[in-house]
Structure 1
Amino acid sequence: MESVRDRMTSSRILIIGAGWAGISAAHSLMLAGVPGEQIVMLERAPRAGGRAFSFTDKEQGLDLDNGQHVLLGCCDQFVQLLGDMNIANAYRFQPSLNIPVYCEGAWGQLFSKRLTGALHLLPGLLSYAHLGMLDRVRALRAAPGFLHPDVEALDAMSFGDWLRKNGQTERTIGRLWDLVGTAVLNGHVDQISAGLAAESFRMGVVAGWQQARLGLFTRPLGDLADDAVSHLQRRGVTVRFNTAVDSLLFEGNQVMGARLRDGQNWVADTVISAVPHDALWRMLPDVWQRHADFQGLQKLAWSPILNAFILYDRPVTQHDVFASTQLGGMFVFNRAALVGEDHLDGRWLSISISAADRYRALSHDEIGAMVQKAIAEALPEARDANVEHCKVVWQPRATFLASPGTAGKRLNPTSAAQGLLIAGDWTNTGWPASLEGAVRSGQAAVEAWLRGGRKQPDLPMTS
């Protein structure tokens, strides 16, 4: 029988996955004093960034992101990582939150003022045109519930049930809470955990005007990931693309490394898994798939995001970003203005529809027509404009679905599998699936490694 050390390559620390969780883990290891030469990162794809990547549209030659990501002012660790790696001109924050909202033939606005704590929301909610005065007052009464939420207790309840319990009408839910909550958590209010929703609103909205600011990327996401990997490589980290891991290697309860698809074994003192939950589960031997620490991985579901990129023959908007309640809620970005393609300003739009399961049966042509109709309803300038190009991009596995009861299925950095550390935006970061959550998960894995934390197995295990 072939042993772990046959056809062997070795390193001190092996990171599986070159997304932002893996990038963060590598950077955190070097901050902790680990030489880059002792770190190897393996990535099955031909590029970095994980699910936040870019590609060039063959017909127009435009750089498209696979999905339109945004930041909030509370995403301080992702911003810090970009700064540490000298990745410049990556994003810009709004001076304060300001999102025009289209709903049923009228425009309103979600905005904040530079007021202390949750008071920054007061002017915007009291003047929000898509709600009557009574519903605005009810929305304000719900806000204190986000200040100190009992996340664990609320996790068993849906966000929709929590909102209704706190006096929110269906009109308020559809025009406010679901519109914002779906964009943040990629699930509609009746699909997602009240605990994670309340914690997300606390961190990103209620905590203060600076935390609530919207951050817009000004470069393609793939360029940022490429810059990050280049930074790691210059400091000695080995990064191998097109290198798929087939399985994790165990000796007893100890992870010894990974077996690659080509049959090579990569032996390491420590393995950091920075891949999606289902990819980690597939890499585990059968006996570990059945272990209590990992059984929850199969119960984490995915939620898709639908993206459309539309190029008009003339400018149709002056907004950098706006939201619409159409199509279950969509956010529209003036991509040309964001990434500096001045000749296409107002013409080249990126549209993002979260939790888009309802549209999976439609063809790309049907989706394109549907989105164009919704844009034309909101933007009069688009009604007479010609569409030069429309590209539909599905993210079928965009994020895990933060359904009620999900908190107990999100793994901590350590488990009974000794020598294995676990990262990824789906892990138990306390954050929704996001770039910030990914970065924090990589940091948490390294912090656990520094503590030497090990969880003893419940039962003797064999490989």
Structure 2
Amino acid sequence: MERARDGINDARTTIIGAGWAGISAAHSLLAQGVPPNLITIFERAPHPGGRAFSFDDEKQGLTFDNGQHVLLGCCDQFADLLSQLGIRDAYRLQPLLHIPVYCDGAWGRLSSKRLAGALHLLPGLLTYAHLRPLERVRALRVAPQFLRPDVDALDGISFGDWLRQNGQTDRAIGRLWDLVGTAVLNGHADEVSAALALESFRMGVVAGWQQARLGLFTRPLGDLAAEAITKLQGLGVEIRFNTAVTELQVRESRVTGVRLRGGDVHPAETVIAAVPHDALVRMLPSGLRDDEDFARLASLTWSPILNAFVLYDRPVMGQDVFASMELGGMFVFNRASLLGLPQYEGRWLSVSISAAHTYRGLGADELAMQIRSALAAALPQARAAQVETCKLVWQPHATFLASPGSSSARANPTTSVKGLFVAGDWTNTGWPASLEGAVRSGIAAAEARLGHKLPLTS
């Protein structure tokens, strides 16, 4: 760890939230020489990880994640944080992007080759079975426009409108752009900002074959967060679980501490609030909620994700992952294969349905039936198999919705309150809501707290 070089590192810092934004902020402060005894993390839950945690099912003896997260090869800062914390065997990257896609009773695939830049997509798009020949040509024609998107000009229109303006049919949008974009942005093409969509495709798909590879987690997410927190504790950082912050203490536009549930006040000269945007607003003194920095947060809304964990009585799936156009678009993962559980190989699947507003009003039995039917449509072996368990996990507040115009509502790490900094995947990272965005936000908050730019390694 680098030694402290100036007085700014001598101030006490409180971090609210032990999700990946808070973990990243604490690690970045330590790396820049802030003494660990001056860092305290408060977490309201009994576990770390924020919106990426795990829980056990004692009846089945299985560990569930609250949602099936994935990485892309471009997620270098999350990978670097894991490496620096000594967390191994967390995920594996595909050698090349390869996602089988089921649609209307037939299979296609999204894939790439080891070709320079955007050319890696050329063979896969030319042979993508779910588009007509002319739709493939039009997709190839529009791809170069992802390389240099005019983010400021495009934030006010939807991705769907931009695609139509550039010759993409509704059929092509649904079978290609929306299938991928919804999984990345947790919003359908007509719901999300064209600017963030194009920038996300640029970083994660168009930039090169290495960046586009899918990263699949090989350990439960909760284990990774717990190991990260244990490493921070071993370095001397104080972490208090089951400790909710109810209010930020502010005097003369300067943060002075945080009030905890129960009434105790913890003094703090600087605070990094690594919490969701609506939680931050609730913590503010009432007089600050109309401040320009915070009032705009009210325009950020949530988008839900529906997850299902399905256990069959026999193997039904051979590949690691596939996408399906059933239920408006879903991704299916061979969870037992990824976690290395041979007794459940091909039997234990996880299903992720992003932007799942449509299904919020349905009962659990109806949802389970629709998901089983969608799996049976794509997997012939599932049609005769018995379902032993179908566990639904809703994330009603999975991510913020990157709607057109939302860029202006995403907060910078500094605020109008001296000593108060913010982090979280909803902040102005330039990335969609993701683990990578959370880690980058923690680095940015630590950078702002220290008053100088931290190096980003790759």
Q: Same fold (TM over 0.5)?
A: yes
Q: Which amino acid aligns with 2:367?
A: I
Secondary structure of the residue that 1:138 maps to in structure 2?
Answer: helix
Q: Which amino acid aligns with 1:416?
A: S
> Contact (CA 8 Å) 1:270, 1:419: kept in 2 or not?
yes
Partner of 1:16: 16
> Contact (CA 8 Å) 1:307, 1:393: kept in 2 or not?
yes
Partner of 1:460: none
Partner of 1:424: 424
Partner of 2:456: none
Shift in CA distance, 113/452, structure 1 to aligned 2, threshold 3 Å: closer
Partner of 2:6: none
> Contact (CA 8 Å) 1:332, 1:352: kept in 2 or not?
yes
Partner of 1:102: 102
Partner of 2:255: 255
Task: Map 1:8-407; keep pairs closer than 5 Å.
Answer: 12-407=12-407
Q: Distance in 2 between matches of 1:343 and 1:136?
A: 41
> Contact (CA 8 Å) 1:11, 1:267: kept in 2 or not?
no
Q: Which amino acid aligns with 2:266?
A: W
Secondary structure of the residue that 2:130 maps to in structure 1?
Answer: coil
Q: Distance in 2 between matches of 1:452 and 1:179?
A: 40
Partner of 2:3: none
Question: 1:36 offset after TM fit, Å?
Answer: 1.1
Question: 1:11 offset after TM fit, Å?
Answer: 7.6
Q: Which amino acid aligns with 2:145?
A: G
Q: Distance in 2 between matches of 1:209 and 1:49?
A: 29
Which range moved further: 442-451 or 109-118?
442-451
Q: Distance in 1 between matches of 2:446 and 2:392?
A: 38
Secondary structure of the residue that 1:49 maps to in structure 2?
Answer: coil
> Contact (CA 8 Å) 1:14, 1:39: kept in 2 or not?
yes
Q: Which amino acid aligns with 1:212?
A: A
Q: Which amino acid aligns with 1:57?
A: D
> Contact (CA 8 Å) 1:11, 1:39: kept in 2 or not?
no
Task: Map 1:425-444; keep pairs closer than 5 Å.
Answer: 425-444=425-444
Q: Distance in 2 between matches of 1:150 and 1:26?
A: 34
Q: Distance in 2 between matches of 1:178 and 1:165?
A: 15
Question: 1:269 offset after TM fit, Å?
Answer: 1.3
Partner of 2:5: none
Q: Which amino acid aligns with 1:274?
A: A
With structure 1 as the length reference, what TM-score do the two structures score? 0.95
> Contact (CA 8 Å) 1:313, 1:386: kept in 2 or not?
yes
Q: Distance in 1 between matches of 2:365 and 2:41?
A: 39
Q: Which amino acid aligns with 1:190?
A: D
Q: Which amino acid aligns with 2:363?
A: S
Q: Which amino acid aligns with 1:179?
A: L
Question: 1:150 offset after TM fit, Å?
Answer: 0.7
> Contact (CA 8 Å) 1:424, 1:441: kept in 2 or not?
yes
Question: 1:57 offset after TM fit, Å?
Answer: 1.7
> Can you list the C-alpha shifts for 1:283-336, whole angstroms capped at 9, x where unaligned?
001111000111111110000000000000100010100000110100000000
Question: 1:131 offset after TM fit, Å?
Answer: 0.5
> Can you list the C-alpha shifts for 1:396-421, whole angstroms capped at 9, x where unaligned?
00000000000000000001111001
Shift in CA distance, 354/152, structure 1 to aligned 2, threshold 3 Å: same
> Can you list the C-alpha shifts for 1:361-391, whole angstroms capped at 9, x where unaligned?
1111111110000000001000000101110
Q: Distance in 1 between matches of 2:216 and 2:95?
A: 12
Q: Distance in 2 between matches of 1:144 and 1:137?
A: 12
Q: Which consecutive unaligned segments of at least 5 residues does structure 1 have?
A: 1-9, 454-463
Partner of 1:408: 408
Q: Which amino acid aligns with 1:113?
A: K
Q: Which amino acid aligns with 2:39?
A: I
Q: Distance in 1 between matches of 2:118 and 2:350?
A: 31
Partner of 2:7: none
- Tell me the matched-pair count: 444
Q: Distance in 1 between matches of 2:210 and 2:220?
A: 24
Question: 1:58 offset after TM fit, Å?
Answer: 3.3
Secondary structure of the residue that 1:153 maps to in structure 2?
Answer: helix
Q: Which consecutive unaligned segments of at least 5 residues does structure 2 have?
A: 1-9, 454-458
Q: Distance in 1 between matches of 2:248 and 2:451?
A: 23
> Contact (CA 8 Å) 1:11, 1:40: kept in 2 or not?
no
Q: Distance in 2 between matches of 1:452 and 1:96?
A: 37
Runs of 4 or more consecutive aligned structure 1 residues displaced over 3 Å after TM superposition: none
Q: Which amino acid aligns with 2:339?
A: V
Q: Distance in 2 between matches of 1:188 and 1:436?
A: 21
Secondary structure of the residue that 1:96 maps to in structure 2?
Answer: coil
Q: CA RMSD in A?
A: 1.0
> Can you list the C-alpha shifts for 1:168-209, whole angstroms capped at 9, x where unaligned?
001100100000000000000000000000000000000000
Q: Distance in 2 between matches of 1:39 and 1:302?
A: 30
Partner of 1:4: none
Secondary structure of the residue that 2:100 maps to in structure 1?
Answer: strand
Q: Distance in 2 between matches of 1:88 and 1:288?
A: 43
Question: 1:59 offset after TM fit, Å?
Answer: 2.6
Q: Distance in 2 between matches of 1:91 and 1:452?
A: 32
> Can you list the C-alpha shifts for 1:128-161, whole angstroms capped at 9, x where unaligned?
0001110000111110110000111100000000
Question: 1:95 offset after TM fit, Å?
Answer: 0.1
Question: 1:452 offset after TM fit, Å?
Answer: 6.6
> Contact (CA 8 Å) 1:424, 1:442: kept in 2 or not?
yes
Which range moved further: 434-443 or 136-145?
136-145
Q: Which amino acid aligns with 2:232?
A: L
Question: 1:233 offset after TM fit, Å?
Answer: 0.0
Q: Distance in 2 between matches of 1:58 and 1:395?
A: 21
Q: Which amino acid aligns with 2:406?
A: T
Q: Distance in 2 between matches of 1:234 and 1:216?
A: 28
Q: Distance in 2 between matches of 1:247 and 1:260?
A: 7
